[in-house]
Copies of this chain bind each other. A is one copy, B any other.
């Protein structure tokens, strides 16, 4: 019984228990109208701006709104206007996407949505198609932003003929009839290779996501790999692509394996945010200094790249920009405006300390290769 201001836990009959709303301070539009001496509809029009209201009336109404601390009841508004002013954000539960990127993205979505006077309902992917159907059918949200779409995502067909507009982050195999946004991962792979090619590297490798990510047909992983491989080929550069798990032992093993397969290897493209720090830790262990003996380019958020040592040359994952775009597109769809089906954000490569000109071939050849066991 130590509560002071409000009885959080007094189940006394006949008086409202602390848990529920106090009816008292629920100001309604009728209260505002009465206070301002106008009709309810006038208040509504002042607030929505959908009809002309004289300046004097508007001021009076707005003063009452402020004075009474009026906030329109969301349910009533949704019911009457058929617009909830809420969008759904569907995030993947499972890993594979790096968490920080996800948070950055979610944050951008919320912030942008608020700028459009919308709120965000958070869903996890594990409710699956049924969850989407539920929130759509219940008119709880006006539109849906969906993250981490797979190539053959079971939710995609549903979205196509759902009664609410949606925007996908990532491209499914068949994006027709949908609105999709993403970083242009193909060009991201390309840009990395071109940067390295310009530095004279002739043998490079891509250290990618865990194998499972490729296996479940995740578009961005495949597209990066394609951009990497095709660009390397066009430049006549030897290129290996290698999935990689996200623990230190695996990283060391994969990197050592790459060095064994390609002794000339002078550059690494790392598209795995969780592994990137471990790659930097592993390389010195394997006798390669960064960037003198081996260059590293990462595809990751700037934050990760800057925090690493040495700071990483990187193509940033513009989570924030993607989030903003996604919401903006959704808002336009809500207004019934036409929007492009696909929006690919151009990658931007930032040069930092982890890339340098390729070492001269002879130096590479003659380098000792220290391992756990002596290499003779």
Contacts and interface: CB of A to CB of B under 8 A. Distances in A.
Given A71-B138, A161-B5, A19 B176 contact: no
Interface residues of A, number: 85
A333 B19 contact: yes
A38 B311 CA distance: 69
A74 B78 contact: yes
A55 interface: no
Contact of A277 (B122, B277, B333): B277
A123 B110 contact: yes
A20 B334 contact: yes
Contact of A22 (B17, B110, B163): B163
Contact of A337 (B19, B110, B127, B134): B19
A100 interface: yes
Interface stretch (A7-15, A45-53, A186-194, A366-374): A7-15
B335 A19 contact: yes
A139 B5 contact: no
A78 B338 CA distance: 33
Interface string A269-311: 0000010010001000000000000000000000000011100
Interface in A167-206: 176-177, 179
Nearest to A16: B336
A160 B26 contact: no
Interface stretch (A79-87, A222-230, A260-268): A79-87
Contact of A165 (B8, B89, B274): B8
A327 interface: no
Contacts of A27: 137
B341 A2 contact: yes
Given A74-B75, A160-B6, A248 B308 contact: yes
A72 interface: yes
A102 interface: yes
A21 B137 CA distance: 10
Contact of A177 (B6, B308, B332): B6
Interface in A115-173: 119-124, 126-127, 133-135, 137-140, 160-161, 163-165
Contacts of A274: 307
A16 to B, nearest CB: 8
A11 B335 CA distance: 10
A133 B18 CA distance: 18
Contact of A309 (B138, B248, B332): B248
A69 interface: yes
A138 B9 contact: no
B79 A107 contact: no
A43 interface: no
Contacts of A63: none
Interface in A53-76: 69-76
Q: Considering residues A19, A99, A247, A277, which has the most beta carbons from chain B within 10 angstroms of its beta carbon? A: A19
Interface of A: 2-6, 8-11, 17-22, 25-27, 69-79, 82, 84, 86, 89, 93, 99-100, 102-103, 106-107, 110-111, 114, 119-124, 126-127, 133-135, 137-140, 160-161, 163-165, 176-177, 179, 246-249, 274, 277, 281, 307-309, 332-339, 341
